[in-house]
Amino acid sequence: MVKMLGTMLEASVVSLELFALTLLFAVPLALLVALGRMSASRLVSIPIHVYILVMRGTPLILQIIFVYFAPYYLFEASYDRFTAVIVAFTLNYAAYFAEIFRGGIQSIPRGQHEAAKVLGFTRADTFFRIVLPQVVKRILPASANEVITLVKDTALAQTIGVAELFRVAQNASARQFSTTPIFIAGVFYFVANWAVSELFLRAERKLAYYS
Amino acid sequence: MDVVTVEHLSKSYGDLRVISDISFSVHQGEVLAIIGPSGSGKSTLLRAITHLETATSGTIAICGTRILDSGVYADAATLRSALLKLGLVFQDFNLFPHFSVLRNVTEAQVRVLRRGKAEAREVALALLEKMGLAGKASAYPCELSGGQKQRVSIARALALDPQVLLFDEPTSALDPELTGEILKVIRNLAAEKMTMVVVTHEMGFARDVADRAMLIDAGVIVEEGPARELIDNPRNERTRAFLKRFSQTSQL
Protein backbone atom coordinates (compact mmCIF):
# COMPACT_ATOMS: atom_id res chain seq x y z
CA MET A 1 0.00 0.00 0.00
CA VAL A 2 2.73 2.48 0.97
CA LYS A 3 4.70 1.49 -2.10
CA MET A 4 1.66 2.00 -4.29
CA LEU A 5 1.07 5.47 -2.83
CA GLY A 6 4.72 6.27 -3.49
CA THR A 7 4.46 5.39 -7.20
CA MET A 8 1.21 7.31 -7.44
CA LEU A 9 2.84 10.36 -5.92
CA GLU A 10 5.67 10.05 -8.42
CA ALA A 11 3.14 9.83 -11.22
CA SER A 12 1.30 12.88 -9.94
CA VAL A 13 4.53 14.82 -10.35
CA VAL A 14 4.39 13.90 -14.06
CA SER A 15 0.74 15.01 -14.20
CA LEU A 16 1.65 18.24 -12.45
CA GLU A 17 4.46 18.88 -14.94
CA LEU A 18 2.09 18.32 -17.83
CA PHE A 19 -0.34 20.73 -16.23
CA ALA A 20 2.17 23.47 -15.44
CA LEU A 21 4.03 23.34 -18.76
CA THR A 22 0.77 23.39 -20.72
CA LEU A 23 -0.40 26.51 -18.89
CA LEU A 24 3.00 28.12 -19.27
CA PHE A 25 2.91 27.78 -23.06
CA ALA A 26 -0.83 27.89 -23.76
CA VAL A 27 -1.68 31.16 -22.00
CA PRO A 28 0.78 33.43 -23.86
CA LEU A 29 0.02 31.61 -27.12
CA ALA A 30 -3.69 32.12 -26.49
CA LEU A 31 -3.16 35.86 -26.16
CA LEU A 32 -1.50 35.94 -29.58
CA VAL A 33 -4.23 33.72 -31.05
CA ALA A 34 -6.94 35.99 -29.61
CA LEU A 35 -5.29 39.08 -31.10
CA GLY A 36 -4.88 37.29 -34.43
CA ARG A 37 -8.50 36.20 -34.37
CA MET A 38 -9.51 39.86 -33.96
CA SER A 39 -7.08 41.05 -36.62
CA ALA A 40 -8.51 43.31 -39.31
CA SER A 41 -6.54 41.29 -41.86
CA ARG A 42 -8.54 38.30 -43.07
CA LEU A 43 -5.24 36.69 -44.06
CA VAL A 44 -4.58 36.39 -40.33
CA SER A 45 -8.05 36.01 -38.85
CA ILE A 46 -9.37 33.28 -41.16
CA PRO A 47 -6.53 30.74 -40.68
CA ILE A 48 -6.77 31.35 -36.93
CA HIS A 49 -10.51 30.84 -37.05
CA VAL A 50 -9.93 27.51 -38.81
CA TYR A 51 -7.32 26.52 -36.23
CA ILE A 52 -9.77 27.23 -33.41
CA LEU A 53 -12.52 25.30 -35.20
CA VAL A 54 -10.28 22.24 -35.57
CA MET A 55 -8.93 22.38 -32.02
CA ARG A 56 -12.37 22.73 -30.48
CA GLY A 57 -14.09 20.51 -32.98
CA THR A 58 -12.04 17.32 -32.63
CA PRO A 59 -11.33 15.17 -29.56
CA LEU A 60 -8.22 16.08 -27.58
CA ILE A 61 -7.34 12.39 -27.44
CA LEU A 62 -7.23 12.31 -31.24
CA GLN A 63 -5.06 15.44 -31.30
CA ILE A 64 -2.58 13.80 -28.94
CA ILE A 65 -2.37 10.76 -31.20
CA PHE A 66 -2.02 12.95 -34.28
CA VAL A 67 0.73 15.11 -32.83
CA TYR A 68 2.70 12.08 -31.72
CA PHE A 69 2.29 9.87 -34.79
CA ALA A 70 2.06 12.37 -37.66
CA PRO A 71 5.79 13.18 -37.70
CA TYR A 72 6.49 9.45 -37.66
CA TYR A 73 4.35 8.71 -40.72
CA LEU A 74 5.37 11.85 -42.58
CA PHE A 75 9.12 11.93 -41.92
CA GLU A 76 9.72 8.68 -40.09
CA ALA A 77 10.92 10.80 -37.20
CA SER A 78 9.91 9.95 -33.69
CA TYR A 79 10.26 12.09 -30.61
CA ASP A 80 9.63 12.21 -26.93
CA ARG A 81 6.09 11.24 -25.86
CA PHE A 82 6.04 13.76 -23.04
CA THR A 83 6.94 16.56 -25.47
CA ALA A 84 4.22 15.41 -27.85
CA VAL A 85 1.61 15.63 -25.10
CA ILE A 86 2.75 19.14 -24.14
CA VAL A 87 2.53 20.24 -27.78
CA ALA A 88 -0.95 18.75 -28.22
CA PHE A 89 -2.25 20.16 -24.93
CA THR A 90 -0.78 23.58 -25.62
CA LEU A 91 -2.32 23.79 -29.10
CA ASN A 92 -5.68 22.61 -27.80
CA TYR A 93 -5.85 24.76 -24.69
CA ALA A 94 -4.56 27.87 -26.45
CA ALA A 95 -7.61 27.67 -28.72
CA TYR A 96 -10.01 27.59 -25.77
CA PHE A 97 -8.17 30.25 -23.78
CA ALA A 98 -7.96 32.44 -26.89
CA GLU A 99 -11.73 32.53 -27.19
CA ILE A 100 -12.04 33.42 -23.51
CA PHE A 101 -9.48 36.20 -23.97
CA ARG A 102 -11.25 37.45 -27.09
CA GLY A 103 -14.55 37.64 -25.22
CA GLY A 104 -12.84 39.52 -22.39
CA ILE A 105 -11.00 41.94 -24.66
CA GLN A 106 -14.11 42.70 -26.70
CA SER A 107 -16.16 43.29 -23.55
CA ILE A 108 -14.04 46.30 -22.57
CA PRO A 109 -16.02 49.42 -23.54
CA ARG A 110 -14.78 51.41 -26.50
CA GLY A 111 -14.59 54.48 -24.26
CA GLN A 112 -11.59 52.97 -22.48
CA HIS A 113 -9.65 52.80 -25.74
CA GLU A 114 -10.80 56.28 -26.69
CA ALA A 115 -9.83 57.81 -23.35
CA ALA A 116 -6.41 56.16 -23.59
CA LYS A 117 -5.93 57.39 -27.14
CA VAL A 118 -6.88 60.97 -26.30
CA LEU A 119 -4.46 60.91 -23.36
CA GLY A 120 -1.69 59.92 -25.75
CA PHE A 121 -1.04 56.35 -24.56
CA THR A 122 0.71 54.17 -27.12
CA ARG A 123 -1.19 51.15 -28.40
CA ALA A 124 1.00 48.84 -26.34
CA ASP A 125 0.46 50.86 -23.15
CA THR A 126 -3.26 50.99 -23.86
CA PHE A 127 -3.43 47.23 -24.22
CA PHE A 128 -1.15 46.17 -21.39
CA ARG A 129 -1.97 48.85 -18.80
CA ILE A 130 -5.57 49.82 -19.49
CA VAL A 131 -7.30 46.93 -21.27
CA LEU A 132 -5.58 43.72 -20.16
CA PRO A 133 -5.84 44.28 -16.38
CA GLN A 134 -9.60 44.75 -16.78
CA VAL A 135 -9.80 41.69 -19.03
CA VAL A 136 -8.11 39.53 -16.39
CA LYS A 137 -10.78 40.39 -13.85
CA ARG A 138 -13.58 39.55 -16.26
CA ILE A 139 -12.20 36.23 -17.48
CA LEU A 140 -11.21 34.72 -14.14
CA PRO A 141 -14.35 32.56 -13.69
CA ALA A 142 -14.23 31.20 -17.25
CA SER A 143 -10.49 30.59 -17.00
CA ALA A 144 -10.95 28.66 -13.77
CA ASN A 145 -13.17 26.25 -15.70
CA GLU A 146 -10.46 25.66 -18.29
CA VAL A 147 -7.68 25.22 -15.75
CA ILE A 148 -9.75 22.73 -13.76
CA THR A 149 -10.53 20.79 -16.93
CA LEU A 150 -6.83 20.74 -17.76
CA VAL A 151 -6.01 19.11 -14.42
CA LYS A 152 -8.33 16.23 -15.32
CA ASP A 153 -7.32 16.13 -19.00
CA THR A 154 -3.73 15.33 -18.05
CA ALA A 155 -5.07 11.78 -17.67
CA LEU A 156 -5.32 11.64 -21.47
CA ALA A 157 -1.53 11.62 -21.73
CA GLN A 158 -1.65 7.87 -21.13
CA THR A 159 -3.07 7.49 -24.65
CA ILE A 160 0.47 7.52 -25.99
CA GLY A 161 1.92 5.85 -22.94
CA VAL A 162 2.99 8.67 -20.65
CA ALA A 163 3.00 7.30 -17.11
CA GLU A 164 0.88 9.95 -15.47
CA LEU A 165 -1.26 9.54 -12.39
CA PHE A 166 -4.29 7.84 -13.89
CA ARG A 167 -2.27 5.34 -15.91
CA VAL A 168 -0.29 4.33 -12.83
CA ALA A 169 -3.49 4.02 -10.80
CA GLN A 170 -5.08 1.83 -13.47
CA ASN A 171 -2.02 -0.43 -13.58
CA ALA A 172 -2.09 -0.75 -9.82
CA SER A 173 -5.80 -1.61 -9.95
CA ALA A 174 -5.16 -4.32 -12.52
CA ARG A 175 -2.39 -5.83 -10.43
CA GLN A 176 -4.41 -5.82 -7.22
CA PHE A 177 -7.78 -6.78 -8.78
CA SER A 178 -9.17 -3.75 -6.92
CA THR A 179 -10.59 -0.37 -7.94
CA THR A 180 -9.15 1.29 -4.82
CA PRO A 181 -6.07 2.84 -6.54
CA ILE A 182 -8.33 4.47 -9.14
CA PHE A 183 -10.47 6.02 -6.43
CA ILE A 184 -7.36 7.20 -4.62
CA ALA A 185 -6.30 8.86 -7.88
CA GLY A 186 -9.71 10.50 -7.92
CA VAL A 187 -8.97 12.02 -4.52
CA PHE A 188 -5.64 13.32 -5.88
CA TYR A 189 -7.39 15.09 -8.78
CA PHE A 190 -10.03 16.45 -6.45
CA VAL A 191 -7.51 17.91 -4.03
CA ALA A 192 -5.54 19.49 -6.88
CA ASN A 193 -8.68 21.10 -8.26
CA TRP A 194 -9.74 22.25 -4.86
CA ALA A 195 -6.45 24.14 -4.67
CA VAL A 196 -7.01 25.56 -8.17
CA SER A 197 -10.50 26.75 -7.22
CA GLU A 198 -9.19 28.37 -4.05
CA LEU A 199 -6.46 30.19 -5.98
CA PHE A 200 -8.95 31.55 -8.46
CA LEU A 201 -11.31 32.63 -5.70
CA ARG A 202 -8.46 34.45 -4.02
CA ALA A 203 -7.54 36.19 -7.27
CA GLU A 204 -11.17 37.22 -7.72
CA ARG A 205 -11.29 38.62 -4.20
CA LYS A 206 -8.05 40.48 -4.82
CA LEU A 207 -9.54 42.16 -7.87
CA ALA A 208 -12.87 42.88 -6.21
CA TYR A 209 -11.68 46.34 -5.16
CA TYR A 210 -13.17 47.87 -8.30
CA SER A 211 -16.14 47.28 -10.52
CA MET B 1 -3.23 82.77 -32.08
CA ASP B 2 -5.83 80.21 -32.98
CA VAL B 3 -5.58 77.03 -31.01
CA VAL B 4 -7.73 74.99 -33.36
CA THR B 5 -8.48 75.82 -36.97
CA VAL B 6 -10.93 73.78 -39.00
CA GLU B 7 -11.41 74.38 -42.72
CA HIS B 8 -13.97 72.75 -44.99
CA LEU B 9 -14.19 69.71 -42.76
CA SER B 10 -16.51 66.93 -43.92
CA LYS B 11 -17.23 63.50 -42.61
CA SER B 12 -19.42 60.86 -44.22
CA TYR B 13 -20.46 57.37 -43.30
CA GLY B 14 -21.06 55.94 -46.77
CA ASP B 15 -23.70 58.17 -48.30
CA LEU B 16 -24.57 59.81 -45.01
CA ARG B 17 -22.87 63.18 -44.54
CA VAL B 18 -22.66 63.90 -40.82
CA ILE B 19 -20.40 66.94 -41.10
CA SER B 20 -20.56 69.04 -44.18
CA ASP B 21 -17.95 71.65 -45.09
CA ILE B 22 -17.51 73.08 -41.60
CA SER B 23 -14.99 75.89 -41.03
CA PHE B 24 -14.27 77.69 -37.76
CA SER B 25 -11.46 78.47 -35.36
CA VAL B 26 -11.01 78.49 -31.63
CA HIS B 27 -9.14 81.51 -30.34
CA GLN B 28 -6.73 81.44 -27.44
CA GLY B 29 -8.50 82.02 -24.12
CA GLU B 30 -12.06 81.86 -25.40
CA VAL B 31 -14.93 79.56 -24.57
CA LEU B 32 -16.83 78.33 -27.59
CA ALA B 33 -20.18 76.64 -27.06
CA ILE B 34 -21.46 74.29 -29.74
CA ILE B 35 -25.20 73.79 -29.56
CA GLY B 36 -27.70 72.04 -31.77
CA PRO B 37 -30.20 69.20 -31.91
CA SER B 38 -29.20 65.60 -31.15
CA GLY B 39 -27.64 63.87 -34.12
CA SER B 40 -26.68 67.17 -35.73
CA GLY B 41 -22.97 66.29 -35.85
CA LYS B 42 -21.73 68.24 -32.81
CA SER B 43 -20.08 65.30 -31.11
CA THR B 44 -18.76 63.94 -34.38
CA LEU B 45 -17.09 67.29 -34.96
CA LEU B 46 -15.26 67.07 -31.60
CA ARG B 47 -14.39 63.45 -32.28
CA ALA B 48 -13.02 64.35 -35.70
CA ILE B 49 -10.85 67.09 -34.21
CA THR B 50 -9.48 64.66 -31.61
CA HIS B 51 -8.98 61.97 -34.27
CA LEU B 52 -11.38 59.52 -32.65
CA GLU B 53 -13.16 59.65 -36.01
CA THR B 54 -11.37 60.10 -39.30
CA ALA B 55 -12.61 62.99 -41.40
CA THR B 56 -13.37 62.46 -45.06
CA SER B 57 -11.97 65.79 -46.27
CA GLY B 58 -10.86 69.18 -45.06
CA THR B 59 -8.06 70.62 -42.95
CA ILE B 60 -7.52 70.63 -39.18
CA ALA B 61 -4.68 72.53 -37.52
CA ILE B 62 -3.83 72.41 -33.84
CA CYS B 63 -1.64 75.27 -32.61
CA GLY B 64 -0.43 75.77 -36.16
CA THR B 65 0.34 72.10 -36.86
CA ARG B 66 -1.78 70.62 -39.60
CA ILE B 67 -2.87 67.18 -38.54
CA LEU B 68 -5.22 66.92 -41.50
CA ASP B 69 -4.32 68.71 -44.72
CA SER B 70 -6.94 68.64 -47.47
CA GLY B 71 -8.14 65.23 -46.37
CA VAL B 72 -4.68 63.74 -45.77
CA TYR B 73 -3.55 62.96 -42.22
CA ALA B 74 -0.09 63.85 -40.95
CA ASP B 75 2.35 61.08 -40.01
CA ALA B 76 1.82 59.25 -36.73
CA ALA B 77 4.45 61.19 -34.75
CA THR B 78 3.17 64.63 -35.81
CA LEU B 79 -0.39 63.52 -35.15
CA ARG B 80 0.44 62.23 -31.70
CA SER B 81 2.34 65.28 -30.51
CA ALA B 82 -0.27 67.69 -31.91
CA LEU B 83 -3.17 65.76 -30.39
CA LEU B 84 -1.49 65.96 -26.98
CA LYS B 85 -2.30 69.68 -27.01
CA LEU B 86 -5.98 68.75 -26.88
CA GLY B 87 -7.80 67.53 -23.81
CA LEU B 88 -11.14 65.78 -24.19
CA VAL B 89 -13.79 65.27 -21.53
CA PHE B 90 -16.33 62.59 -22.42
CA GLN B 91 -20.02 62.45 -21.72
CA ASP B 92 -19.65 59.18 -19.81
CA PHE B 93 -16.30 60.01 -18.16
CA ASN B 94 -14.40 56.91 -19.30
CA LEU B 95 -12.27 56.81 -16.18
CA PHE B 96 -10.01 53.78 -15.81
CA PRO B 97 -11.90 51.70 -13.23
CA HIS B 98 -8.91 49.63 -12.10
CA PHE B 99 -6.87 52.72 -11.20
CA SER B 100 -7.37 54.87 -8.11
CA VAL B 101 -8.47 58.46 -8.65
CA LEU B 102 -4.87 59.58 -8.16
CA ARG B 103 -3.50 57.10 -10.68
CA ASN B 104 -6.16 58.06 -13.21
CA VAL B 105 -4.63 61.54 -13.10
CA THR B 106 -0.94 60.54 -12.89
CA GLU B 107 -0.70 57.60 -15.32
CA ALA B 108 -0.63 59.58 -18.59
CA GLN B 109 1.73 62.16 -17.09
CA VAL B 110 4.20 59.39 -16.30
CA ARG B 111 3.73 57.20 -19.39
CA VAL B 112 3.13 59.86 -22.01
CA LEU B 113 4.84 63.04 -20.79
CA ARG B 114 7.58 61.04 -18.97
CA ARG B 115 7.18 63.13 -15.85
CA GLY B 116 8.72 61.83 -12.65
CA LYS B 117 6.34 60.03 -10.31
CA ALA B 118 6.71 62.60 -7.54
CA GLU B 119 6.06 65.51 -9.87
CA ALA B 120 3.06 63.77 -11.46
CA ARG B 121 1.66 63.11 -8.03
CA GLU B 122 2.06 66.73 -7.04
CA VAL B 123 0.36 67.95 -10.22
CA ALA B 124 -2.46 65.46 -9.71
CA LEU B 125 -3.05 66.33 -6.06
CA ALA B 126 -3.13 70.04 -6.86
CA LEU B 127 -5.67 69.45 -9.64
CA LEU B 128 -7.81 67.18 -7.46
CA GLU B 129 -7.78 69.82 -4.77
CA LYS B 130 -8.89 72.39 -7.31
CA MET B 131 -11.70 70.06 -8.37
CA GLY B 132 -12.83 69.72 -4.75
CA LEU B 133 -11.68 66.11 -4.58
CA ALA B 134 -8.74 66.43 -2.22
CA GLY B 135 -10.02 63.62 -0.01
CA LYS B 136 -10.72 61.22 -2.89
CA ALA B 137 -7.21 60.59 -4.21
CA SER B 138 -7.10 57.00 -3.01
CA ALA B 139 -10.73 56.19 -3.85
CA TYR B 140 -11.68 54.14 -6.92
CA PRO B 141 -14.00 55.47 -9.64
CA CYS B 142 -16.77 53.02 -8.66
CA GLU B 143 -16.96 54.73 -5.26
CA LEU B 144 -17.67 58.18 -6.74
CA SER B 145 -20.83 59.97 -7.82
CA GLY B 146 -21.24 60.90 -11.47
CA GLY B 147 -20.31 64.49 -10.78
CA GLN B 148 -17.17 63.44 -8.92
CA LYS B 149 -16.22 61.09 -11.76
CA GLN B 150 -16.57 63.88 -14.26
CA ARG B 151 -14.41 66.16 -12.12
CA VAL B 152 -11.73 63.46 -11.99
CA SER B 153 -11.86 63.16 -15.75
CA ILE B 154 -11.42 66.94 -16.08
CA ALA B 155 -8.41 66.75 -13.75
CA ARG B 156 -7.07 63.83 -15.81
CA ALA B 157 -7.28 65.91 -18.99
CA LEU B 158 -5.82 69.04 -17.38
CA ALA B 159 -2.86 67.11 -15.98
CA LEU B 160 -1.32 66.96 -19.46
CA ASP B 161 -1.41 70.79 -19.78
CA PRO B 162 -3.57 70.90 -22.89
CA GLN B 163 -3.83 74.12 -24.92
CA VAL B 164 -7.55 73.57 -25.24
CA LEU B 165 -10.07 71.48 -23.39
CA LEU B 166 -12.91 69.97 -25.40
CA PHE B 167 -16.09 68.86 -23.63
CA ASP B 168 -18.43 66.41 -25.31
CA GLU B 169 -21.77 66.94 -23.53
CA PRO B 170 -20.07 66.81 -20.13
CA THR B 171 -23.32 66.93 -18.14
CA SER B 172 -25.62 64.76 -20.25
CA ALA B 173 -25.06 61.70 -18.07
CA LEU B 174 -25.69 63.63 -14.85
CA ASP B 175 -28.81 64.62 -12.96
CA PRO B 176 -29.54 68.37 -12.60
CA GLU B 177 -27.93 68.68 -9.18
CA LEU B 178 -24.63 67.21 -10.35
CA THR B 179 -24.84 69.15 -13.60
CA GLY B 180 -24.44 72.39 -11.66
CA GLU B 181 -21.31 70.99 -10.02
CA ILE B 182 -19.63 70.43 -13.40
CA LEU B 183 -20.80 73.70 -14.89
CA LYS B 184 -19.25 75.48 -11.92
CA VAL B 185 -15.91 73.82 -12.63
CA ILE B 186 -16.06 74.87 -16.29
CA ARG B 187 -17.04 78.38 -15.22
CA ASN B 188 -13.98 78.56 -12.94
CA LEU B 189 -11.73 77.34 -15.73
CA ALA B 190 -13.20 80.01 -18.00
CA ALA B 191 -12.35 82.64 -15.40
CA GLU B 192 -8.73 81.42 -15.60
CA LYS B 193 -8.83 81.96 -19.36
CA MET B 194 -8.62 78.27 -20.21
CA THR B 195 -9.45 77.80 -23.88
CA MET B 196 -12.49 75.53 -24.11
CA VAL B 197 -14.95 74.12 -26.61
CA VAL B 198 -18.11 72.85 -24.99
CA VAL B 199 -20.73 70.80 -26.80
CA THR B 200 -23.75 71.28 -24.60
CA HIS B 201 -27.51 71.26 -24.27
CA GLU B 202 -27.35 73.70 -21.34
CA MET B 203 -28.47 76.88 -23.08
CA GLY B 204 -28.38 79.08 -19.98
CA PHE B 205 -24.85 77.95 -19.30
CA ALA B 206 -23.75 78.51 -22.91
CA ARG B 207 -25.25 81.97 -22.83
CA ASP B 208 -23.56 82.97 -19.57
CA VAL B 209 -20.18 81.34 -19.81
CA ALA B 210 -19.29 81.02 -23.49
CA ASP B 211 -17.80 83.91 -25.42
CA ARG B 212 -19.03 82.57 -28.70
CA ALA B 213 -21.67 80.07 -29.67
CA MET B 214 -22.18 78.05 -32.79
CA LEU B 215 -25.37 76.27 -33.77
CA ILE B 216 -24.90 73.13 -35.81
CA ASP B 217 -27.77 71.40 -37.52
CA ALA B 218 -27.64 68.58 -40.07
CA GLY B 219 -23.85 68.78 -40.14
CA VAL B 220 -23.54 72.46 -41.07
CA ILE B 221 -22.96 75.63 -39.06
CA VAL B 222 -26.29 77.41 -39.10
CA GLU B 223 -25.31 80.45 -37.09
CA GLU B 224 -22.28 81.66 -35.21
CA GLY B 225 -21.72 84.69 -33.02
CA PRO B 226 -21.33 86.06 -29.51
CA ALA B 227 -23.04 83.54 -27.25
CA ARG B 228 -25.41 85.91 -25.51
CA GLU B 229 -26.51 87.51 -28.74
CA LEU B 230 -26.98 84.22 -30.56
CA ILE B 231 -29.08 82.73 -27.81
CA ASP B 232 -31.09 85.83 -26.91
CA ASN B 233 -31.60 87.23 -30.40
CA PRO B 234 -30.98 84.54 -32.99
CA ARG B 235 -31.05 85.88 -36.53
CA ASN B 236 -31.44 82.60 -38.30
CA GLU B 237 -34.85 80.96 -38.60
CA ARG B 238 -33.46 77.50 -37.76
CA THR B 239 -31.69 78.82 -34.68
CA ARG B 240 -34.91 80.43 -33.55
CA ALA B 241 -36.86 77.23 -34.08
CA PHE B 242 -34.27 75.17 -32.22
CA LEU B 243 -34.07 77.51 -29.24
CA LYS B 244 -37.85 77.78 -29.09
CA ARG B 245 -38.26 74.02 -29.10
CA PHE B 246 -35.56 73.83 -26.51
CA SER B 247 -37.06 76.33 -24.09
CA GLN B 248 -40.41 74.55 -24.43
CA THR B 249 -38.97 71.17 -23.49
CA SER B 250 -36.93 72.57 -20.63
CA GLN B 251 -40.06 74.13 -19.18
CA LEU B 252 -41.84 70.76 -19.09
pLDDT tens-digit readout, A77-128? 888 999 999 999 999 999 999 999 999 999 999 999 999 999 999 999 999 9
Residue A2 pLDDT class (50, 70, 90 cuts): confident
Q: Is residue A87 in some structural domain?
A: yes
Alpha helices in B57-202 (DSSP H): 76-83, 101-111, 117-130, 146-158, 176-191
B167 touches A: beta carbon within 8 Å: no
Q: How confident is the model at residue A76 (pLDDT cuts 50, 70, 90)?
A: confident
* pLDDT of amino acid B250: 63
How high is the pLDDT of residue B251? 59
Mean pLDDT throughout B224-235? 93
Three-class SS of residue B196? Answer: strand
- Phi, psi angle pair for A71, to nearest 5°: -60, -35
The chain-wide mean pLDDT, for chain A, equals 95
Q: Which of chain A's residues have a Cβ under 8 Å away from the Cβ of B50?
A: 118
Partners of residue B152 in chain A, C-beta under 8 Å: none
**Predicted confidence band at A36 (pLDDT cuts at 50, 70, 90)?**
very high
Q: What is the pLDDT of residue B110?
A: 97
Could B83 and A120 be called an inter-chain contact, meaning their C-beta atoms sit closer than 8 Å? Answer: yes
Q: What is the pTM of this model?
A: 0.91
Whether A179 is covered by a domain: the verdict is yes
**Residue B249's pLDDT is what?**
67
Q: How many angstroms away from the CA of A119 is the closest CA of chain B?
A: 6
The model's confidence at residue B244, banded by pLDDT at 50, 70 and 90, is: confident
Taking Cα atoms as reference points, which of A130, A18, A123, A3 lies closest to residue A64? A18
How much is the average pLDDT of B56-61? 96
* Cβ separation A117–B52 shorter than 8 A: yes
- Model pLDDT, residue A5: 87
Domain boundaries, chain B: 96-161
CATH code for the domain in which residue A189 is found: 1.10.3720.10
Chain A hits for B86, CB-CB cut-off 8 Å, are 118
Give the domain range for residue A38.
Answer: 2-206
B86 in the Ramachandran plot: left (φ > 0), alpha (ψ -120 to 50) or beta?
beta
Residue of A nearest to B81 (CA): A120
The order of strands in the sheet holding B2-13 is B16-27, B2-13, B57-62, B65-69, B72-73
The confidence score (pLDDT) of residue B247 equals 76
Q: What is the pLDDT of residue A16?
A: 96
Domain tally, chain A: 1
Average pLDDT estimate for A138-161: 96
The minimal CB distance from A121 to the residues B87, B108, B140 is found for B108
Q: Does some domain include residue A211? A: no
Judge if ipTM > 0.90. yes
pLDDT at A54: 98
